[in-house]
Structures are given as structure tokens and as C-alpha cells.
């Protein structure tokens, strides 16, 4: 993948690579490692819509009703409440997929990382909350990250003194 503002420079590098190796130009990047990339003069959008749809389909939740938030605000998850899952591998697999999804979906980061704390001994409430995260994703599949092409880079920081 080559990225540059100068198209002439990209063409020069591609020509050099083609002369040295057997390469194929696949054109403009649209889909890469589960990321959908859309570019326009105003900027670039990264999302994982297809990845979300595949995850919902694999989980059997493609036709589910969407949830309004990834996690209940007063959802007390603990290591001891609820019965242990009979198949913890399914929970671990879902959490792994959701962790990968947090690259473009910052809105689910807190819930997924909270659920990841229980990956060694998952229980029924943990799986129910995981399904709620999936139901939330159903309601907002196309969300992602937008990188503006005419934006000044400004570093901002936040510190909670507590």
C-alpha cells in the first residue's frame, strides 16, 4: 500500500517496484484486513461495516433488535455472579472479534475492555452483555473514523487529577 499526496511520486515508486519485482497494481484501496476505506477530496473514512455484519451473522444476531447503548449504565459485572458458561471458547472468540472492532469503533471500547476482564472465567451475565454490545452494533453499522484532508494537526491532552 502506497500513500502520498504526490501522485507522480507514487507512480515513480510503483515503476521502480515493478522493475525490481513482479507486482500487480490493485488500484485504489477499498477494503483491507476488515477495514473499509472510502476517500474523497474532503478526507478518508475508515469503518468496519462488513466486519460487523459478518460478526452479527456468525453470532446468529443478524435479525436482532438493536440496542440503544453498548452496555447498561448500571450493569454490575462480577467474577462470581451467574453460572459459568459451558462453552467459554465462544465467549473468548466474540471478545477477540470485538477487540479488533474497537480500532474504528471507539464507542464500544469501554464495554469490550470491561468484558475482556472476565475472559478467563466467563459467566452468563458476561455473555448477555456481549450480546448487548452486538445488538448495539446492529443499530449503527456504518460508524467509523473520518480523517479530514484539510485539517490542522493539533495535539490535545486530558488529565484527570483524581
pLDDT tens figures, 80-119: 898 999 999 999 999 999 999 999 999 999 999 999 999 9
Domain that holds residue 62: 49-139
Which residues are paired to 144 by β-bridges? 47
Please report whether residue 19 resides in a domain. no
Please report whether residue 22 resides in a domain. no
Please report whether residue 38 resides in a domain. no
Contact between residue 133 and residue 98 where contact means Cβ atoms under 8 Å apart: yes
Please report whether residue 5 resides in a domain. no
The domain tally of the chain equals 1
Tens digit of each residue's pLDDT (9 = 90 or more) over 37-54: 998 888 889 999 999 999
Q: How far is the C-alpha of 2 from the C-alpha of 42, rounded, in Å? A: 19
Contact between residue 125 and residue 81 where contact means Cβ atoms under 8 Å apart: yes
Amino acid at each position: 500500500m502506497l500513500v502520498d499526496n504526490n501522485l507522480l511520486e507514487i507512480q515513480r515508486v510503483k515503476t521502480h517496484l515493478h522493475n525490481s519485482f513482479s507486482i500487480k497494481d490493485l488500484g485504489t484501496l477499498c477494503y483491507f484486513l476488515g477495514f473499509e476505506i472510502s476517500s474523497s477530496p474532503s478526507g478518508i473514512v475508515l469503518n468496519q461495516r462488513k466486519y460487523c455484519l459478518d460478526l452479527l451473522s456468525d453470532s446468529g444476531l443478524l435479525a436482532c433488535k438493536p440496542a440503544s447503548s453498548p452496555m447498561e449504565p448500571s450493569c454490575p459485572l462480577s467474577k462470581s455472579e451467574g453460572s459459568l458458561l459451558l462453552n467459554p471458547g465462544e465467549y473468548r472468540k466474540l471478545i477477540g472479534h470485538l477487540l479488533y472492532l474497537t480500532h474504528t469503533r471507539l464507542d464500544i471500547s469501554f464495554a469490550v475492555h470491561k468484558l475482556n476482564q472476565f475472559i478467563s472465567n466467563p459467566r452468563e451475565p458476561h455473555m448477555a452483555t456481549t450480546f448487548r454490545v452486538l445488538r448495539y452494533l446492529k443499530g449503527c453499522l456504518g460508524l467509523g473514523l473520518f480523517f479530514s484532508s484539510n485539517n490542522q494537526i493539533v495535539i490535545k491532552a486530558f488529565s484527570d487529577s483524581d
